[in-house]
């Protein structure tokens, strides 16, 4: 215990210095700061040595992390900055000291605000970093070897309570040293990906882009949007998206492309406010990410956008699966560089081409009665893809997705409730006839009857009665925040339950499934990077 207390004291020793002092790392190569605004706002505290500014020149981050850095300096250190100056600095640092698309891609889920079970293959990083925030927050930055220890010192100075979060770490000194060594190895300032991206950074092309995505509660969709450049790096866009149900909705908005790769937009879908978080590919031909309802980031479409002028590419086939013996089915193929010569594999015959453009082909098909269950290669002219289309023999089971899921109370104060849109996804067993194996076929969402049930029959808290309600389409709305006088001891409307779905299969019989839902506390603080 004595050594542990000494270690805590050593870690807290930089308390007065870590937040304001920043010596330039000797011998470390850095990125010169050339922005007059950045030099004006930052060098009052950070030392400037010929354009290499202490702390600042030795880090690269995503736009949201730069925004959070400025927000923290304003909140803690009294940085005087206007909204326009803040935006100008985020644009500058994202361009000069951002990340390459390949560096962002594995951790984009936190920027897209997706609930994700992270996989972290380093116990020391789990011990020192992931207890308080996501691993992605750590991984979405790059620093010099001399800079990572200063980040640890900053935590001691600005967030001294983190030591209590780590009080079960038996040897603070060794664990912290091992963690810093691992971070230096995994996330250095200079990387091949950044060198490649900085050398030839493509621009998002103006003109037509093809859309393909999936939105829980509504299904798969395709569409087209047209991008127009309104300045550097600003865009406007407008177009339509069309769901499998044939519902066609207008979409439009305005966007900023931070650092040439990070698309952040605000707009409307059918007149309702949306936001978008996308990241461009290394070659500039594709955007991947999400658009979500504003302020309900949990209600989202997971989407890919491909430049219509790019090489032939098949993005989606709707529906993604047909039953053997189906006749006269309408199939829509979405992509770039398409032609009317469509093939969907063995046992599937294209009977008629209903319409054909380079971005969308609609055909009528028959599926042979004895067509083998399994995935097919889909083709439309020079564009092809595997596992985008399949034939199945029967709907063998359903799953409730997402599971596990998280909802959050809210609604009384300024915290917005976090809803959950559930889907009942149908599956076929595949060629091996066994459920839950690698050849199972995801058929798509099916209409189901929904209910919330107790996690255990012995649950005396009656969580299912209070945590919230689910509608006919699988949308779960949690209860209000705060104590509930109707609950035992006026407990809050929190708990864990099953969300159960039942589906009357076409061949007779009812298929059932359930998913786990944790209904928990409001998200009072939404940081740029959670």
Identical fold, 313-392 and 397-520:
yes
Peptide bond into 268 cis (omega under 30): no
pLDDT at residue 398, as a whole number = 97
Domain ranges of the chain: 2-197, 207-306, 313-392, 397-520
CATH for 397-520 is: 2.60.40.10
Question: Which CATH number is correct for 313-392, 3.20.20.100, 2.60.40.10, 1.10.1200.10, 1.10.3720.10?
Answer: 2.60.40.10
The beta strands (E) that lie in 74-161 are given as: 141-143
DSSP string of 458-517, one letter each residue: T-TT-HHHHSEEE-TTSEEEE-BSSB-TTSGGG-BS-EEEEEEEEEE-TTSSEEEEEEEE
pLDDT tens, residue by residue, 467-516: 999 999 999 999 999 999 999 888 899 999 999 999 999 888 899 999 99
- 204: which DSSP letter? P
Is the pLDDT assigned to residue 24 strictly greater than 70? no
pLDDT band at 115 (very low <50, low <70, confident <90, very high): confident
**207-306 domain in CATH 1.10.510.10?**
no
pLDDT tens, residue by residue, 140-189: 999 999 999 999 888 888 777 777 777 777 788 888 899 999 999 999 99
Token digits of residue 131: 């207890």
CB 449 within 8 A of CB 501: yes
pLDDT tens, residue by residue, 317-329: 999 999 999 999 9
Is the pLDDT assigned to residue 212 strictly greater than 50? yes
pLDDT at residue 17, as a whole number = 31
Question: Which positions ≥6 away from 17 have C-beta within 8 Å?
Answer: 153, 157
């Amino acid at each position: 215990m004595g050594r542990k207390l000494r270690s805590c004291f050593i870690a807290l020793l930089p308390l007065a210095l870590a937040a304001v002092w920043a010596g330039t790392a000797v011998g470390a190569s850095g990125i010169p700061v050339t922005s007059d605004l950045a030099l004006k706002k930052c060098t009052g505290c950070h030392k400037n040595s010929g354009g290499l500014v202490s702390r600042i020149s030795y880090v690269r981050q995503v736009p949201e992390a730069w925004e959070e850095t400025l927000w923290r300096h304003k909140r803690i250190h009294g940085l005087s900055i206007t909204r326009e100056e803040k935006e100008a600095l985020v644009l500058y640092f994202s361009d000069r000291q951002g990340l390459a698309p390949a560096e962002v891609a594995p951790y984009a889920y936190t920027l897209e605000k997706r609930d994700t079970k992270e996989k972290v293959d380093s116990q020391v990083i789990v011990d020192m970093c992931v207890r308080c925030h996501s691993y992605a927050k750590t991984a979405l930055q790059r620093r010099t070897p001399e800079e990572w220890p200063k980040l640890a010192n900053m935590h001691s100075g600005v967030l001294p309570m983190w030591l209590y979060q780590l009080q079960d770490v038996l040897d603070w000194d060794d664990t912290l040293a091992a963690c810093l060594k691992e971070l230096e190895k995994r996330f250095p300032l200079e990387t091949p990906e950044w060198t490649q991206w900085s050398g030839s950074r493509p621009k998002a092309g103006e003109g037509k882009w093809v859309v393909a995505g999936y939105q829980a509660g509504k299904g798969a969709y395709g569409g087209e949007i047209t991008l127009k450049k309104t300045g550097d790096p600003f865009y406007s866009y407008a177009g339509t998206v069309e769901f499998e149900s044939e519902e066609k909705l207008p979409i439009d908005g305005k966007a900023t492309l931070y650092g040439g790769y990070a698309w952040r937009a605000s707009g409307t879908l059918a007149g309702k406010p949306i936001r978008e978080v996308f990241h461009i590919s290394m070659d500039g031909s594709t955007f991947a990410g999400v658009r979500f309802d504003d302020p309900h980031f949990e209600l989202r479409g997971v989407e890919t956008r491909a430049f219509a002028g790019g090489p032939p590419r098949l993005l989606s086939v709707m529906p993604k699966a047909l039953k053997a013996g189906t006749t006269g089915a309408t199939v829509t193929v979405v992509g770039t560089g398409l032609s009317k010569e469509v093939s969907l594999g063995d046992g599937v015959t294209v009977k008629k081409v209903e319409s054909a453009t380079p971005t969308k082909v609609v055909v009528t098909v028959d599926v042979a009665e004895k067509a083998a269950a399994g995935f097919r290669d889909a083709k439309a002219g020079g564009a092809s893809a595997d596992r985008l289309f399949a034939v199945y023999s029967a709907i063998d089971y359903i799953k409730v997705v997402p599971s596990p899921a998280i909802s959050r109370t809210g609604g009384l104060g300024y915290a917005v409730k976090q809803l959950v849109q559930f889907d009942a996804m149908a599956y076929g067993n595949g060629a091996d006839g066994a459920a839950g194996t690698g050849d199972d076929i995801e058929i798509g969402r099916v209409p189901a009857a929904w209910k919330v049930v107790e996690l255990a029959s012995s649950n005396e808290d009656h969580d299912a009665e209070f945590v919230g309600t689910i509608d006919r389409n699988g949308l779960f709305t949690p209860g209000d925040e705060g104590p509930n006088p109707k609950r035992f001891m006026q407990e809050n409307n929190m708990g864990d339950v099953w969300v159960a779905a039942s589906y009357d299969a076409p061949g007779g019989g009812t298929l059932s499934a359930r998913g786990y839902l944790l209904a928990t506390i409001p998200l009072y603080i939404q940081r740029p990077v959670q």
